Each structure stands twice: as structure tokens, then as C-alpha cells.
Structure 1
């Protein structure tokens, strides 16, 4: 039995604690805030609670097209939504604490500081006390990043945490950053009734290598259909707030484009800044302990997720964009570290699905067409429009496209990129197919129920098998 101390109780931290306790280790979980971390309190769960209300509101507004009368005048009740969000997160946090208690995990409320691989000093409101350990796992996560030209005042200029506390829907919103969080917020608040503008410095929305360009193109089209204004290749150079209105000066994101992109002015009741994250490492004592970090403060680890101090591991968002900053990857990293405490082994990042809760949703796994080509693989791409599915028409949600990336010689599935209703659920089958090395032919010979959205992946693979 080992003594394991885990600092941080987000998806990485609590998963590691549960796995270690079930394996018979003595576990201390250190948390300075609420159990559950960013994912539960200011990330995945609250935003999806907002998204659920946005989706419900859209269904009510379009109820007439489903032969339902008498649904006019629906609007979001923000105080009630905040109460629902807090109830959901509170219930889940309580469940995590009960699991800790049932597994015999010691939950310490305080801040952890690493002195060496065998000791963490925990500072509470009352005192500081050393906790002896055989191993330490750092899982402290990340927090919203401020822009120097647009620092959050938490009233008019808001970070993603602040947005989840809004008690009213701003009449107009400018979202700075067209990544995952920015695009999700744009869709949600447009459904809530705000006039929304998205500013993105790069040439497309969701400028992430793992997201196929076809998905970005379709999302841009669908967002514009709802009235969301999108300005690409631009950034904010300055902002001033006057009488409750934020005035932004925009310009070309790249100096070489300054001649082609004219400076502009935007005004909004609120600005959401969603340009990235920074590590939560302050007060951990990393420098004094000699634990290596990148110039931006992310913790450096080897392939086994071990830091430069043997016996001390780091998982989750605190590793930064060099790894995969997703809650489910943090959980996978946690289980991997705990399973290999006796003999550290490399962590596998080859098949990690991503779920983007825009309207329509996007689910991606494996290689994009560009990534596969860059690897020198012979690539074949297959497309299926969501409007080809009977279930999509029955639901009244026909916007979307499914894309399959296969090896041109043996038809092995290399990547799947799905944009459409429930794409974040449908991507799981594609992940399993890639994980098991399945070919498009294998999926095409697996009977899928009809009429379902899941048969869209079947039809996509059937189409690829015939090429």
C-alpha cells in the first residue's frame, strides 16, 4: 500500500483519488476550493446546463414546425437558470464528497505546497501541517487567461467564469476568441436573445489542428444563419467602458495584413474574453522544489507524466496545450498514473475524442485530413450530409456533415469529424472503431438501428467502403 497525496480535485484529481483508493492505497486529496474543480463549477457542467436551456428555448420557438401550438413568448429566466445550474453542480459535488468518504479518502481543505516527493505541506485556515507521501500527483488545472489589451473588470469585460454568473442577458455581446469556449458561448447567448459578434484572430473558427476545416466552415455558415456576426483575422487593440457600454477598437491580427484589414469600432453591453487558459501553479512551491516548468508556467512531464522530480506526477490542464486540455483526458491520465505507480509507462494520446457543444454540435476523433496527409499517409476522405438521414428530418435538425478520413490502401479509419445533432454522443462509436483498428468495411457490415442518427456513421462507412 502506498501513501498518495493528490493536489486538486477536478476530474483528474478525484479520478486519481478514487482509482488509488480502490486499489488499496492510502489517499489524501487536497483542495482549496469546491470539490470537482473547473469542470464541475465553471466549465463543462455549468456550460452544458446553459446549453440545455438554450436548446430547449430553441425547440419551443420552433414548436410550430412540429405541429405544436401555443408556445409563443418563451424567454430565458436567468435567475432561475443560475439556481438550476447551482443545484446541478451542488448535487454532483456532494456526490463526489460522499464517494471520497465511502472510499476512506482523506479530504483536506487547504492549499498544498510540495517540499519534496515524500511530503506536501497543507495550509488550512487554522494551521499548516505536513502530509507524508510515497507519491504526489499535481492536478490543479487552469484558469481563464486575461488579454493585456482587454483585462477583465468582471462587470462589463468578463472571463468565462464571470459569464456563468450573469443575472441578465446582455442586449449585445462581443466575444473575443473563436475557439471552443467562444463559439459555445456565442450559440448559447444568441439563443438567449443577445446580439452576438465573435472576433477571432485566425482565418477560421475553431482554429485547432484536431478540428477538420470542413467543420469550421459549416459552423461559420450555421452561426451566421442565426444572426451571429463573425469577424475573422481580427483582434482587439484597445477597449474603454463609458456609461455601461464597452467600446472596442479592432484591427488586423497579423501586422502583414494591416493593409487589407481596416481598423474598426465595436460597441457592446458586455465583452466575453475567451482567448485561452493559464496554469494554476501559484503557491505549489514548484520552483523551490526544482520541478521544471515551461516559460509560460505549465508543468513539464515525461511520457509517463512524471515531473522532473521522481515520484511526483502531473495530470490534466496544468500540463498545458502540449498535451490535451480536456476533462476526459485528465481522467484518463489519472487512471494511467495510478495503474503504473510501480512501473511508470508512457501515456497513450492516440485516440482522444473532443466534444464541442455548439449549434450544431461537433465531435472529432483521430486525425484530420490535413494531419493524416502531413504524416505521409495515403488519405481518402468521405462526406455524408446529415440531411440524408431520415431521423434528422423527423427531428427537424438537418444541418451538418459527417466526414471520415481513411487509409486509401486498406480503408482503416484514421479520423472521424462529425457536425450535426448529437455529434458529441455519436463520436464515441468512431473512437472505438479507431481504437480497435477497424476498417470502414467492418462498420459497414455492422447492422445499425433505423431510424437513428447513429446510422449516419454506418452510412458514412458504407459510402467509404464502396469507394
Structure 2
């Protein structure tokens, strides 16, 4: 049975950084990853969304420049955007893997191991690793749980990751939707509203239960962000409460109630939940 000073469960940004620091202190370390090195932050989180955002920004800027000369901007294919996002993700994953392999090759003390599989705590100092039909048990003095998080699912919303999605379902789409509602006007919701409106192929509605988006940000900054999004065609449902959301005939029907108790029903192609 292999014995380690430290076992880290989860090879996302936190787990990876912890492993590098443990090696600095000459601790024999095992890094366990269930799925993808780099975690959600690389695969469908910060890196992928920032790549999306940058491509959207460049597209909008290019379109604006051509409009000055009455030149029609070329259409951007969803598949091409996905190719660029996946390329950025794969490059970063390859960099992380190569970094670990270089550490393993360059050090004679063999302080760092990387194993793929499902980790299970049997005791505070004993961990079982399941990788397909293979099972291994290791011992450790210390454990760091760096398993990350997942999108929040609301039981009253019919999230199927095809029509009503979280950020994890974005990669399942085959084309830009002609319309989309985003539930939640926080950082993630506003980011995706900016992304999809920037490509100018999706009519975006943004549900905000307050009187302004990003309530934790400075009001002057928020006004600029709101103005930019609305100039890009985003409809912000201010002071609105989502009463219901249903999938009907492969599309989304949702109903809002406003502060004056009036209600309104909308129909869109897709919904993104970011609460």
C-alpha cells in the first residue's frame, strides 16, 4: 500500500496549486482527479467563458468597424466559436499535464503522483481510488478536499441541459439560439448576456429581481454595463420575479411578476440558469 504525506482530491486550480506548494515543502503528494485536469475552471468555467467573451468582443468590434463603411459583417458560425474555445481549453490542459510530467521527470525524489479515478475516504487517513474496474487504497497523513463546485439546480426549473441549461449545458448547443432568457443578473448571468448579445445572433432577455443588475458593484459602473448591454439589444427584466418556467414544444415559456403585481408571459428558444 502506497503511503503519502498528503493526498489532494481534485485537480482543479486549488488542488493543483496545493500540490505544487506541497512539493516545494518536499512532501510526498498524490493528486487525484476524477475527470479532467484543471477542473471546471478550465473546461466549462472561467477559461472557457473568458474565451467566449473575448471572441464575442472581437466580433462586435469588427462588426462596428465595418458598419462605419456600410460593409456587411460576415456571419460567425457557432461551430467555429466552439473550435476556438476547445482549442484554448485543450492547450491549457496540455500545459498542466506537461508541467506535472516535467516535475516528475526532473526530480529524483518522486514527490508527486497524479492518478485519475473516483476517490473515496474510507477513514481520515485511508483513501480508496476507483478507476474503472481497478481499485487501489492509499494511506496519507493529511487530506485536502478540493472538489470544487457545480452549478446550482433549482427544483422548480426544468433544467435538462438542452433547452433549459446551466453553464455546463452551453457546450451541448449546436448553434446560436435565436432567443434566450438568462435567469440571474449576477456576474455569470451578465457575462453570458454580454457574450451572446455581442455575437448579434441571439435576442437576450435578462431577469433581475432587483432594480439594477450586479447589486454588489458600484452603481456608476453598473449603469455603464447596463447601457452597453441594452445598446446591444439585451432586454433587462428589472424588479421581476420568475413565477414559472416550462418547456413547451422544445421551447421555453416563462412568466414574470413585477412589483406592481402585473404579470407577463414570454417565449424564447433557450434558457440559461445562473443563480
**TM-score when scaled to structure 1?**
0.54
Aligned partners of 2:161 and 2:168 also within 8 Å:
no
Residue 127 of structure 1 deviates from its aligned partner by 2.7
Secondary structure of 1:133's match? strand
Aligned partners of 1:50 and 1:81 also within 8 Å:
yes
Instruction: Choose from 207, 210, 214 the match for 1:206.
Output: 214
Distance 2:76 2:174 in 1: 11
Residue 143 of structure 1 deviates from its aligned partner by 0.7
Determine whether 1:18 maps to 2:20: yes
Aligned partners of 1:22 and 1:103 also within 8 Å:
no
- Cα deviation digits, residues 370-415 of structure 1 (max 9, x gap): xxxxxxxxxxxxxxxxxxxxxxxxxxxxxxxxxxxxxxxxxxxxxx
Partner of residue 396, structure 1: none
Residue 203 of structure 1 deviates from its aligned partner by 3.0
Partner of residue 233, structure 2: 227
Distance 2:139 2:270 in 1: 48
Distance 2:140 2:70 in 1: 63
Aligned partners of 1:30 and 1:109 also within 8 Å:
yes
Evaluate the alpha carbon distance shift between residue 14 and residue 71 of structure 1 in structure 2; reply closer, same or farther with a 3 A threshold. farther
Residue 34 of structure 1 deviates from its aligned partner by 0.6
Determine whether 1:157 maps to 2:159: no
The unaligned stretches of length 5 or more in structure 2 are 105-111
- Cα deviation digits, residues 86-132 of structure 1 (max 9, x gap): 12111111111121222232111111122333222222212332221
* Greater RCO, CA 8 A, separation 6+: 2
Residue 64 of structure 1 deviates from its aligned partner by 4.1
The 5 A counterparts of 1:274-289 are 274-275=274-275
**TM-score when scaled to structure 2?**
0.90
Aligned partners of 2:158 and 2:247 also within 8 Å:
no
Distance 1:126 1:76 in 2: 44
Distance 2:57 2:139 in 1: 49
Determine whether 1:245 maps to 2:256: no
Partner of residue 29, structure 1: 31
Distance 1:14 1:64 in 2: 44
Instruction: Choose from 111, 135, 138 the match for 1:131.
Output: 138
Aligned partners of 1:113 and 1:121 also within 8 Å:
yes
Aligned partners of 2:197 and 2:229 also within 8 Å:
no
Structure (1 or 2) with the greater strand fraction: 2
Evaluate the alpha carbon distance shift between residue 215 and residue 70 of structure 1 in structure 2; reply closer, same or farther with a 3 A threshold. closer
Distance 2:71 2:212 in 1: 36
Partner of residue 47, structure 2: 45
Instruction: Choose from 9, 14, 17 the match for 2:11.
Output: 9
Q: How many equivalent pairs are there?
A: 265
Determine whether 1:195 maps to 2:203: yes
Secondary structure of 1:87's match? helix
Distance 1:108 1:11 in 2: 16
Secondary structure of 2:74's match? coil
Aligned partners of 1:186 and 1:196 also within 8 Å:
yes
Distance 2:273 2:226 in 1: 19
- Cα deviation digits, residues 119-163 of structure 1 (max 9, x gap): 222222123322211111111111111122213112211111111
Secondary structure of 2:92's match? helix
